[in-house]
Amino acid sequence: MASIRDVAANLCRHYPHKAELSKARLTKLVYLADWESAKRTGKTLTNIVWKFHNYGPYVDDVMNVVKRDDAFDVEYTHNTYGEPKALIDLKDDEAWIDLTQSEEEIIDKVINDTRHMYWNAFMNHVYSTYPIRIQDRYSELDLEDLAVEYNRLKSVSGRA
């Protein structure tokens, strides 16, 4: 299992639009990586217990790790509407990241799937994932169990 730190660091290193790597986007990218991993392998990349909050999948775990780790820089700024925004970056592009090749491939897929999405399209993509479509708000998202269900439905109907 990958650490939250290593998944976040890999995303920060490889995400092409650094100015868009906010607290919310980074957290949701980690969610998408966990979901992709659960669909492919039956296991999430990280040990995060995801919750379905008002604005989709969210936990404080990612930002808690980022804030405590000297490898990251968090810049507090404002979005175009004047609302507070935290941008996350990897300070040292040579920082050690311990991921397997298959973990890196999962993260690369998430980046490639989302790299051209502006905020609204990105959020629609996150909201269109099976766990968010079928679970109730404020529930815990057991991505591993939901991936089993999703893969079963997909194999039966060709889509889920």
- Indicate whether 158 belongs to any domain: no
pLDDT at 92: 84
Supply the pTM of this predicted model: 0.96
Q: Could you state, in chain order, the average pLDDT of each consecutive group of 10 residues for the chain (160 residues)?
A: 97 95 97 98 98 92 97 93 94 90 98 96 97 96 98 85
- Indicate whether 153 belongs to any domain: no
In the structure encoding, which two tokens stand for residue 10, read together?
A: 């890999």
What element of type H or E holds 77? Answer: strand 72-78
pLDDT at 79: 86
List alpha helices for the chain, DSSP H.
4-14, 23-41, 61-68, 101-114, 119-127, 130-134, 143-157
- Indicate whether 154 belongs to any domain: no
- Indicate whether 31 belongs to any domain: yes
Sign (positive or negative) of CA dihedral 19, 47, 138, 147: positive
Query: Domain range holding 121?
Result: 4-146
pLDDT at 93: 78
- Indicate whether 156 belongs to any domain: no
pLDDT at 14: 96
- Indicate whether 151 belongs to any domain: no
pLDDT at 95: 84
pLDDT at 159: 72
Domain count, the chain: 1
- Indicate whether 113 belongs to any domain: yes
